[in-house]
Amino acid sequence: MEKIKSNSYILFYFNKKMKWLTKILDGNELHTHVGVINHHDVIGKIYGSRITTNKNKYVYLLKPTIYDFIMKIQHGTQIVYPKDLGYILSRTGLESGHKVIEIGTGSGALTMFLASVVKPNGHVYTFDINQQFIDIAKKNVSRTDLDKYITFKKINLKNYTKSQLIKNADLITIDLGDPWTVITQARKMLKDSGSIVSICPTINQVEKFSLSLIENEFTDIECAENIIRTIDAREGKTRHSFYGIGHTTYLVYARKAHFT
Q: Which of residues 35-64 bind a second copy (CB under 8 A)?
A: 46-50, 60-64
Rounded distance between C-alpha atoms, residue 27 and residue 35, angstroms: 16
For the chain, report the end-to-end CA distance as a whole number of angstroms.
59
Contact indicator for 84, 253 with CB cutoff of 8 Å: no
Comparing CB distances to a second copy, the nearer of 97 and 132 is 97
Rounded distance between C-alpha atoms, residue 235 and residue 237, angstroms: 5
Closest listed residue to residue 189, CA positions, set 171, 167, 172: 167
Contact indicator for 255, 190 with CB cutoff of 8 Å: no
User: Residue 168: which region, alpha, beta or left (left: phi > 0; alpha: psi -120 to 50)?
Assistant: left
User: Minimum distance between the CB of residue 157 and a second copy, rounded to whole angstroms?
Assistant: 22
User: Residue 44: which region, alpha, beta or left (left: phi > 0; alpha: psi -120 to 50)?
Assistant: left
Angle subtended at Cα 209 by Cα 208 and Cα 215, rounded to the nearest 5 degrees? 95
User: Minimum distance between the CB of residue 17 and a second copy, rounded to whole angstroms?
Assistant: 12
User: Minimum distance between the CB of residue 154 and a second copy, rounded to whole angstroms?
Assistant: 27
Which range touches a second copy (CB under 8 A), out of 27-35, 36-44, 117-125, 132-140?
A: 117-125
User: Minimum distance between the CB of residue 81 and a second copy, rounded to whole angstroms?
Assistant: 9
Which range touches a second copy (CB under 8 A), out of 25-33, 100-108, 156-164, 238-246?
A: 238-246
The yes or no reply on residue 76 touching a second copy (CB under 8 A) is: no
Residues 85-104 that bind a second copy (CB under 8 A): 85-93, 95-97
Comparing CB distances to a second copy, the nearer of 89 and 135 is 89
User: Minimum distance between the CB of residue 98 and a second copy, rounded to whole angstroms?
Assistant: 10
Residues 126-165 that bind a second copy (CB under 8 A): none
Of the candidates 29, 178, 215, 232, which one interacts with a second copy according to CB under 8 A?
Answer: 232
Q: Provide the 3-class DSSP secondary structure of residue 98.
A: coil
The yes or no reply on residue 178 touching a second copy (CB under 8 A) is: no
The yes or no reply on residue 240 touching a second copy (CB under 8 A) is: yes
Rounded distance between C-alpha atoms, residue 113 and residue 140, angstroms: 12
User: Minimum distance between the CB of residue 117 and a second copy, rounded to whole angstroms?
Assistant: 5
